[in-house]
Copies of this chain bind each other. A is one copy, B any other.
Amino acid sequence: MAVNQLMLEMLPEVELALRQVVDGTVNPRVPELRSMLTYHMGWEGEGAGPEAQGKRIRPLLVLLSAQAAGGDWREALPAAAAVELLHNFSLIHDDIQDRSELRRGRPTVWVKWGIAQAINAGDVMFTQAFHALQNLDRSLSADATLEALRVLQRVCLQLTEGQYLDLSYESRFELTQADYWPMITGKTSALLGGCCELGALCAGASHETRAAFHEFGLKLGLAFQVLDDWLGIWGDAALTGKSTESDLVSGKKSLPVLYALDRGGAFARRWLQGPIQAGDLPAVIEMLKADGAEEFTLAEAQRLTDQALSALARSAPLESTHNLRELTGLLLKRTH
C-alpha cells in the first residue's frame, strides 16, 4: 500500500500511541503477558516487523477523518489507538474460534501460548481499547469522551453480533444473500464506520456530519469486504497462487457463492455435490461467471463505493477529503 506523505507522518505516531497503552497498562511483574500482546502487535518475537503489524488502516481512517473534519489529527490519536486495539483483540479471539494457526505469516497467539492464555490476552487488549479511548479526555470534554466511548461500545456489540453470525453460519447449509449483509456489517463495516465517526467526533463535528462520516466508513467497509470476496476467487493469489488461497476450495460462503446459490444454476448444482478441489477450479469459476456472479459482485462493490464517496461528499468540502479519498483508492484498488 503506497501511502502518501501525511499518512507516513501519522503511522509512527499511531505506533507510539499503541505502545504507550499496551506497555503502560500491563503490570511489569507479568512480562510474559506483555510479551503475548507485543508479539501479536508485531513488535516483538520471531518475525516481528512491519509485515507482522498489518497496515493500520483503521487508525489511519480515524486520523484522516479527524483531519478532513477540520480537526487536529494528533488529538485523535487515542481514538486511533483504540480502534486498532479493538481490531486486534477481535483477531486474537477470531484465531482461536477459527483455529487459525497463522496470522500475518506468524504462528497465532493461541498456537504459541495455548487457548486459555490467548482468550485472556484478548480480554486484556479489549480492556486496553477502552482505556486508550478514554485518554481522549485530555483534549476533549468529558461529554464528548463519553460519546466516543458510546460509539466504541456500539461497535463492540455489532462486532460480536457479526462474529456470532459468522460462527453460526459454519454449521448452516442453507444461506442466502440476506444472511450475508448483517454478518459482514458486524464483522467488518461497523468498525470502519466507527473509525470515521470517531475521527469526526474528535474534530468537534456536528451530529449530522458525524453521521455522514459514519455512513462513509460503513459503506467503505462493505465495498472493501465485497471486493475481498471477489479477490478470494478472481484475485491474482486465488487464480495463480496455491489453491488454498481460493475461497472456493476453503468453502467460504462469500457473496459470489451466495449469489450463485440463490440463482440455482449450474454452480449451485455443483456446490451441492460436495467440496471443490483445486483441479475443479477452472470449470467451477466458469460456472460462477456464467451465472453472472462475477458481474454482480463487481457491480455491488461499485455501488457501495459510490455510496461511500457520496456520503464523504456530504461530510466535508472536497478539498478537505483529499487524503481520505486517497486511502479509499488504496483500499479498493488492491489486486492481491
Question: Is A310 located at the chain interface by the 8 A CB criterion?
Answer: no
**Out of B26, B32, B126, which one reaches A123, CB within 8 Å?**
B126
Question: Is A142 located at the chain interface by the 8 A CB criterion?
Answer: yes
Question: Is A161 located at the chain interface by the 8 A CB criterion?
Answer: yes
- Cα of A130 to Cα of B156 in the assembled complex, Å: 11
**Out of B130, B134, B149, B164, which one reaches A30, CB within 8 Å?**
B164
Known interface pairs A30-B161, A33-B164, A157-B25. Does A120 touch B97 (Cβ–Cβ under 8 Å)? yes
- As for how many copies of this chain the complex holds, the number is 2
Q: Which of A26, A120, A130 has the most CB of B within 10 A?
A: A120
Q: Collect the chain B residues with CB atoms within 8 Å of residue A32's CB.
A: 164, 168
- Cα of A153 to Cα of B168 in the assembled complex, Å: 31
Q: Identify the closest chain B residue to A96 (Cβ).
A: B119
Whether A116 contacts B142 by the Cβ 8 Å rule is no
Whether B149 contacts A134 by the Cβ 8 Å rule is yes
A 98-140 contacts with B by CB, 8 A: 98, 115-117, 119-120, 122-124, 126-127, 130-131, 134, 137
The secondary structure that dominates the A interface is helix
Whether B33 contacts A161 by the Cβ 8 Å rule is yes
A 198-256 contacts with B by CB, 8 A: none
Minimum CB–CB distance from A116 to chain B (whole Å) comes to 4
Question: Is A273 located at the chain interface by the 8 A CB criterion?
Answer: no
Question: Is A40 located at the chain interface by the 8 A CB criterion?
Answer: no
- Cα of A187 to Cα of B124 in the assembled complex, Å: 14
Q: Collect the chain B residues with CB atoms within 8 Å of residue A160's CB.
A: 33, 120, 123-124, 127
Whether B163 contacts A134 by the Cβ 8 Å rule is no
Q: Collect the chain B residues with CB atoms within 8 Å of residue A182's CB.
A: 29
Whether B116 contacts A134 by the Cβ 8 Å rule is no
Question: Is A145 located at the chain interface by the 8 A CB criterion?
Answer: yes
- Cα of A26 to Cα of B186 in the assembled complex, Å: 13
- Cα of A160 to Cα of B149 in the assembled complex, Å: 21
Whether A119 contacts B119 by the Cβ 8 Å rule is yes
Question: Is A143 located at the chain interface by the 8 A CB criterion?
Answer: yes
Whether A146 contacts B134 by the Cβ 8 Å rule is yes
Whether A149 contacts B164 by the Cβ 8 Å rule is no
- Cα of A131 to Cα of B155 in the assembled complex, Å: 12
- Cα of A141 to Cα of B146 in the assembled complex, Å: 11
A-B contact pairs, 25 of them (CB 8 A): A25-B157, A26-B161, A29-B182, A32-B164, A33-B161, A33-B164, A96-B119, A97-B119, A98-B116, A117-B167, A117-B168, A119-B119, A120-B163, A123-B160, A124-B164, A126-B126, A127-B157, A127-B160, A130-B149, A131-B157, A134-B146, A137-B146, A141-B142, A142-B145, A145-B146
| 4 interchain residue pairs of minimum CB distance | A142-B142, A97-B116, A127-B156, A33-B164
